[in-house]
Amino acid sequence: MSKVFVFGHQNPDTDAIASSYAFAYLAKKAYKMDAEVVALGTPNEETSFALKSFGVEAPRVITSALAEGVDTVILTDHNEFQQSISDIADVTIFGVVDHHRVANFETANPLFMRVEPVGSASSIVYRMYKENNLEVPKEIAGLLLSGLISDTLLLKSPTTHVTDHKVAEELAALAQVNLEEYGMSLLKAGTNLTSKSEAELIDIDAKTFELNGNPVRVAQVNTVDIAEVLERQEAIEAAIMEAIAKEGYSDFVLMITDIVNSNSEILAIGSNMDKVEAAFNFTLENNHAFLAGAVSRKKQVVPQLTESFGN
């Protein structure tokens, strides 16, 4: 088989980078594939912290597989086409490792597909190492641990699966770090928003979902001070309106998540605000509202929006 690209979703978060990096190594060692990890965007500050912590170079960024002479790909941490590489419909998808819903996904040929309702794609990849009796190098254990910590907010998110706790403990031991200490350092590294422009802020961790024919952009930023982010509301809203006009989103929903107290403020703009309000049973005031206990886009925001937009 010729070269295969392994990558996570656009605007890659720590789990997307970690799971793709680790799976490319697995594919080479266990499956004897000519696999190369690439990325569909530059790492954010949290991911950069993880890469630096374990001495790993960031994957090179690409926008097209075919332009690189590669026609076969493996997806990690996503499966929806609008979240993937630009020419995803024109390449062969050899496999998928994901922990999200399956939507807008169709292939011409059978494929290897591993989708599980666990806290991170990194959790799945780690278990695949064990299934293949493949030793996990320290740096890969560190990245996989980082992906799990990031997606579960240090195992506090409702997306955390019961098995994720043991996975985290084992990976921390392999990476030779203290789980709690490293975890908090990683999460705090991703909350430095002062250096980000408003356009960058709303794109740090953002995905587009097709909800009953509506392209809805759902973004999330982590912080230790929601009020500090809302001080920039006017400029953030201007950036959102510019993104809506440029990309054709029907609605834009921004989660501003307090990682210390496990709550979020929802800032929303678009043509279906009645459906956004119905999704969370709140009333937007000045385009935003408090959502107690919400930290997970995957479990506490997207399913509710999907149901509301479907009604």
Mean pLDDT, rounded, of the chain:
96
pLDDT per residue over 267-277, tens digit each?
999 999 999 99
Q: Which of 165, 191, 217 is the last residue of a domain?
A: 191
Q: Provide the 8-state DSSP code for 94.
A: E
43 and 150 belong to one structural domain = yes
Mean pLDDT, residues 149-174 taken together: 96
List, as residue ranges, the binding site for Mn(2+): 9, 13, 15, 77, 99, 151
| Segment 5-38, tens digit of pLDDT | 999 999 999 999 999 999 999 999 999 999 999 9
- Structural domain boundaries, residue 210: 198-310
Question: Looking at residue 214, which CATH number applies to its domain?
Answer: 3.10.310.20
- What total number of domains does the chain contain? 2
Q: Is 167 helix (H, G, I), strand (E, B) or coil?
A: helix
What is this structure's pTM?
Answer: 0.86
- Give strand pairing partners of 252: 217, 269
Contact (CB, 8 A) for 142 and 54: yes
How crowded is residue 66: how many other Cβ atoms within 10 Å of its Cβ?
A: 12
Q: Which residue has the tokens 């690189």?
A: 68
pLDDT greater than 80 at residue 193: yes
Q: Which residues pair with 280 in a beta bridge?
A: none
- Identify whether the C-beta of residue 153 lies closer than 8 Å to the C-beta of residue 187: yes
Same domain, 77 and 149: yes
* Residue positions forming the annotated binding site: 9, 13, 15, 77, 99, 151
Same domain? 121 vs 215: no
Tell me how far the alpha carbon of residue 90 is from its chain's centroid. Answer: 23
**Torsion angle, alpha carbons of 280, 283, 287, 290, to 10:** -60
